[in-house]
Amino acid sequence: MNIKKVFICRPIPEIAEEMLKKAGIQVEKNPLDKILSPDELKKKVAGMDAVLSLLSDKITAEVLASAGSQLKIVANYAVGVDNIDIRACQAQGVMVTNTPDVLTEAVAEHVLALTLAVTRRVVEADRFTRRGEFKQWMPLGFIGPSLFGKTMGIIGMGRIGSLTGEMAHSGFKMKVIYFDLKRDKEFENKTGAKFASIAKLLKNADVVSLNVPLTPKTKHLISSQEFKQMKQTATLINTSRGPVVDEKALVSALKSKEIWGAGLDVFEEEPKVNPELIKMDNVVLTPHIASATSEARDAMAEVAAKNIIAVLGGKKPLNQVC
């Protein structure tokens, strides 16, 4: 019998490897918690039937060609698939899968974590306290905008956007406005959310959360024109992909106080972070950790393994992207 082989690009929760082995698939992996270079990746995927990739692995046409014609599936350990050349996969007859659903709660929680951290100045106040500067109670210190009853604007009403809207609405009694390519009547009924153009959303929202995938159409969706339309008291939250925001324009909007602040989990040239952002107190930065709950990461590993087992067994996977 021809034993199928999978390459796992970085250590992920062990459940994936256990499941794959149990299904009779031979597992090869990068044992180091270090992104493989394009050349290393090309060598490692050669002869594999499946690749379990991370969002930090660029699955290019060259990588696919080097894998060979037996490659059946690239199972991404992420919901976003912008690291994968989808067209090249289609051309080579390679299926692509992702891990949606299981990380929705984690990411929506992180949107709110960043929102509160920025509006209530949690990180800035923490630094102040650690520096030993808390000498007396401050009636005028660390004042920021309240969230309760304000307006949450969500751009991209997929699973993550909807749950973020629901949490904001049920927890903070926020009004929700959203923009998407299509309207979601069920969500509107559940949360009283209103559909709006991007321009109207930017004008009215106190928090703007970006929840779109990165595509040529969403690159720099938020740039200097958009910052000009936002409220001066507004907070921008990006947990989607860095290039959705024009980072230079963001720096300048923050410097000139066009907006109140920003919470960023993703960056335009990840893992590089614009040094200007690092200097700013009205910005909270996290290293692309929105899905980093033990529940979500374990479930993502399980889903990626299930997708591979299905495809190598000649079945339809749970989460086919193409």
Q: How far apart are CA 136 and CA 142, in angstroms?
A: 13
Indicate which residue of 10, 110, 121, 241 is catalytic. Answer: 241
Respond yes or no: is residue 87 known to be catalytic: no
* Closest distance of CB 213 from ligand GLV, Å: 6
* Closest distance of CB 145 from ligand GLV, Å: 26
* Closest distance of CB 134 from ligand GLV, Å: 36
* Residues 88 and 96: beta-carbon distance below 8 Å: no
Using the CB atoms, write b or e for 89-120: b if 16+ within 10 Å: beebebbbbbbbbbbbbbbbbbbbbbbbbbbb
Count CB-CB contacts under 10 A for residue 295: 12
What torsion do the CA atoms of 233, 239, 244, 246 make, to the nearest 10 degrees?
A: 50
Number of residues that bind ligand GLV (CB under 6 A): 13
Residue 299's nearest CA partner among 161, 104, 110 is 104
* Closest distance of CB 237 from ligand GLV, Å: 14
Residues 190-249 within binding reach of ligand GLV (CB under 6 A): 211
Among 42, 58, 120, 159, binds ligand GLV (CB under 6 A): 159
Q: Which residue has the tokens 């992207």?
A: 321
Residues 263-292 within binding reach of ligand GLV (CB under 6 A): 291
E-strand ranges in the chain read 5-8, 26-29, 50-53, 73-76, 95-97, 151-155, 175-179, 194-195, 207-210, 235-238, 261-264, 283-285
Residue 265's nearest CA partner among 142, 152, 186, 160 is 160
Indicate which residue of 18, 62, 270, 302 is catalytic. Answer: 270
- DSSP letters, 27-77, are EEE--SSSPPPHHHHHHHHTT-SEEEE-TTS-B-HHHHHHH-TT--EEEES
Respond yes or no: is residue 121 known to be catalytic: no
Residues 82-121 within binding reach of ligand GLV (CB under 6 A): 100, 103-104
* Closest distance of CB 101 from ligand GLV, Å: 7
Residue 144's nearest CA partner among 118, 126, 123, 172 is 118
Give me the residue whose beta carbon is nearest to ligand GLV: 158
Which uninterrupted H or E stretch holds 85? none
Determine, following the binding rule CB under 6 A, whether residue 11 of this chain makes contact with ligand GLV. no
Determine, following the binding rule CB under 6 A, whether residue 160 of this chain makes contact with ligand GLV. yes
CB closer to ligand GLV out of 259 and 300: 300
Select the span of 25-33, 61-69, 116-124, 153-161 touching ligand GLV (CB under 6 A): 153-161
Residues 289-308 within binding reach of ligand GLV (CB under 6 A): 291
Residues 23-42 within binding reach of ligand GLV (CB under 6 A): none
Select the span of 25-33, 152-160, 192-200, 244-252 touching ligand GLV (CB under 6 A): 152-160
Respond yes or no: is residue 258 known to be catalytic: no
Determine, following the binding rule CB under 6 A, whether residue 53 of this chain makes contact with ligand GLV. no
Q: Which residues bind ligand GLV (CB under 6 A)?
A: 55, 78-80, 100, 103-104, 158-161, 211, 291
Active site residues: 241, 270, 288
